[in-house]
Structure 1
Amino acid sequence: MRWEKAVADGLASGVSHAFGIFDKTLCDIQEVGMSPSDHWWLLEREDACGACREAAIVIDGRWPRSMRIEDARVSVARRL
C-alpha cells in the first residue's frame, strides 16, 4: 500500500496506473499534468495495469520489510 493511483486526462479509462516519479507511471507512461491521486493504487485490483504491477513487485521487493508497513508509507512526489 505505498503507491498512489496516477491521474491525468490522457490516461485510458478502465485501467489504473501507479504513479511513480518524474510525472510518469510505473509502466513509463507520461502525460502532461499527471499527478498522484489521494487514493492508493493496489496491485491486487482487477483493473491494475499489468506492467505497473510487475514494476511494483520488483521495486517493493527491494525495500526492507520494515518500510513496507502502512505507517512507513510516504509519497515521494509530494516531497519533491
Structure 2
Amino acid sequence: MCGLTMWRWPVLPTAWEEETWSCSWCYAATQVGGEWFEISCPLYLPMEMRWERAVADGLASGVSHAFGIVDKTLCGIQEVGMSPSDHWWLPERENACGACREAARVIDDRWPQAMRGEEAWVSVTRRL
C-alpha cells in the first residue's frame, strides 16, 4: 500500500485459503491466495470504521482498546490470545484508550492520500 515492508500473519494457508500480509507502518492488510489466487487490498476506512475492539482476559475493564495486530493493541498492550471482537472500537467514546486513539491518528495519517479513494482498491486474479 505505502511501499514499505509487509509481514505475513502467522496463519498457515491452504490451497483454498488466503494469506494475510500487513504493513507495520500504515497497517494496510493485503490478502493473497484463495481459490482464484487473488491479490487484494482493502479500501481506506476512517478511524471509527477501521478498528475492532480488543478482547483479552488481561485487559482492564472499563477501557476500550483497539485491536492492532496479533495479540497486541494499538497502544502496545500484548496479551496471549488477544483477538478482535465483533464490535467496532470507537475512538470518540469516553472510555476509548487515549494511547490507542493517538496511535490510530498517527496510522491514519500514514495511509497514502492517493490510496484513499474507491479507485485505489486493487484486486488482481491469476489467469490460468
Structure-2-length-normalised TM-score: 0.50
RMSD (Å) for aligned C-alpha atoms: 1.6
Q: Which residue of 2 aligns with 1:58?
A: 106
**Aligned equivalents of 1:26, 1:35: Cα separation in 2:** 12
Deviation >3 Å, runs of 4+: none
- Which structure has greater strand proportion? 2
Give 1:33 shift. 1.1
Match of 1:28 among 76, 84, 105: 76
Q: Which runs of 5+ in 1 are unaligned?
A: 73-80
Aligned counterparts of 1:45 and 1:66: Cα–Cα separation in 2: 27
Find the residue that maps to 1:37 and give its secondary structure: strand
Structure 2 alignment gaps of length 5 or more: 1-48, 122-128
Percent identity, aligned pairs only, is 84
Normalized per residue, which structure has more helix?
Answer: 1
Q: Map residues 1-80 of structure 1 onto 2, 5 A cutoff.
A: 1-63=49-111, 64=113, 65-66=116-117
Distance 1:41 1:14 in 2: 13
Alpha-carbon distance between aligned partners in 1 of 2:64 and 2:94, rounded to the nearest angstrom: 9
Aligned residues: 68
Partner SS, residue 6 of structure 1: strand
Provide the secondary structure at the position in 2 that maps to 1:52. Answer: helix
Superimposed CA distance per residue, residues 36-66 of structure 1 (whole angstroms, 9 cap, x where no aligned partner): 0010001101100000000000101122332
Q: What SS is found at the alignment partner of 2:86?
A: strand
